[in-house]
Structure 1
Amino acid sequence: MFFTCSFVGILLGVLLINGCRAARKWDYEPISIISETSDDSLISLKVKIVRISRGEFGVSAEVEWNYDTTDETMVSAVVYRSSSGDESDYKLLPWALPNQPFYDYLNTYYKDVIMKNFAPCSNVPQFEDKFEPPWPKKTYKAESCVVNGDGLPEVAPPGFYKIIFNCSGPEQPSWSLVGIFKLTTKIF
């Protein structure tokens, strides 16, 4: 009897400790990803949603980057949320990437989120300290990438999220990605 109670107590303790660690409390399903570019010869974006297994989806992409970035290349992103997914229901959230130079973005959000989530499944540039220009002109590929949530909020209300990412600069192409994702509360 004592052994059974002790085992149950240890098991409950392990489950409690495991449940207390910081981890995302949401699951996601990509609904759509649309890319646009002002000049396909300078940057070509092919992005698609792929089914990995039952209930698990990822993103595959091929980006042909054929232009030089400069200190004037700017990026920004905004996030909207809708409880229904209806276009008229989306409301702007405070989670945003303010308009900033591309190299500042690389040393912050890219390093904290993109590298951590896409390094295992793509050939995106990796660096340890500060990014040293130039950004490599080449073809970048991502295969069945599943976002694990590193660098993203741990808690997010369920619903539909629209993320709009923009990049542009003088005498450079303008391009954007619009992704819609459905978030649900993670059970375990």
Structure 2
Amino acid sequence: MLNVVSSVERVGRSDYAISGTLTNNEDMDESTMIEALCYRSSSGAEDDYKILPFSIPNQPFKDFVKSYYKDIIYKSFQHCSNAPPPEEAYPWPKGDINFDMCSTNGEGLPENLPEGYYKVIFKITASTQIVYTAIIKLTTKLM
């Protein structure tokens, strides 16, 4: 079983960070598949979301670790979590991964994204299917 407990915390007047714990009790091996579907909406209305081209296709977890995890996820969260480095991320270790006031630096993500609502649906399929949905409102930061 994979369990995610997370919260968004305000940092200063205009920034936010995520804190939480990801607890893994599953064997995430060659039979584990992962995908992430990315959508954007200008209004946030459920029927307004459109799929984006930078979704992560359904693939074995091992392939995900070698690419998306190494190039995007780990680089974005290594400074604020105890996430395993890519060379130790497969098979994924059992136990807790803690995130403390994480805000991404955007490395590995598209350079420019229009304002709006972004929804990412992570699906992990092993002995059971686990789905985690994140919705993020992106606005222009005024200096």
Pick the TM interval, shorter chain: over 0.9
Decide whether the 8 Å contact of 1:106 with 1:131 is kept in 2: no
Q: How far apart are the structure 2 equivalents of 1:117 and 1:133?
A: 18
Aligned pairs for 1:49-68 within 5 A: 49-68=8-27
- Matched AA of 1:178: T
SS of alignment partner, residue 70 of structure 1? coil
Task: Give the alignment's TM-score, normalised by structure 1.
Answer: 0.71
Shift of 1:186: 4.8
Decide whether the 8 Å contact of 2:6 with 2:21 is kept in 1: yes
Identify if the C-alpha distance between structure 1 residues 91 and 134 changes in structure 2 by more than 3 Å, giving closer, same or farther: closer
- Matched AA of 2:94: K
Decide whether the 8 Å contact of 1:158 with 1:185 is kept in 2: yes
SS of alignment partner, residue 118 of structure 1? helix
Shift of 1:56: 0.7
SS of alignment partner, residue 94 of structure 1? coil
Decide whether the 8 Å contact of 1:50 with 1:60 is kept in 2: yes
Point out the structure with the larger helix share. Answer: 1
Where do 5+ consecutive residues of structure 2 fail to align?
none
Q: How far apart are the structure 2 equivalents of 1:181 and 1:64?
A: 22
SS of alignment partner, residue 107 of structure 1? helix
Shift of 1:133: 3.4
Decide whether the 8 Å contact of 2:35 with 2:59 is kept in 1: yes
Decide whether the 8 Å contact of 1:83 with 1:160 is kept in 2: yes
Shift of 1:111: 0.5
SS of alignment partner, residue 72 of structure 2? helix
1:100 aligned to 2:55?
A: no
Match of 2:111 among 135, 154, 157: 154
Shift of 1:132: 6.7
Decide whether the 8 Å contact of 1:103 with 1:131 is kept in 2: no
Which residue is equivalent to 1:163? 120
Q: How far apart are the structure 1 equivalents of 2:13 and 2:90?
A: 41
Match of 1:176 among 119, 131, 135: 131
Decide whether the 8 Å contact of 1:82 with 1:159 is kept in 2: yes
Q: How far apart are the structure 2 equivalents of 1:183 and 1:52?
A: 16
Shift of 1:173: 2.9
SS of alignment partner, residue 70 of structure 2? helix
Compare CA radii of gyration and give the structure with the larger one: 1
- Equivalences, count: 143
User: Larger relative contact order (C-alpha < 8 A, sep ≥ 6)?
Assistant: 1
1:137 aligned to 2:94?
A: yes
Q: What is the RMSD computed on CA atoms of the aligned residues?
A: 1.6
Q: How far apart are the structure 1 equivalents of 2:40 and 2:89?
A: 35
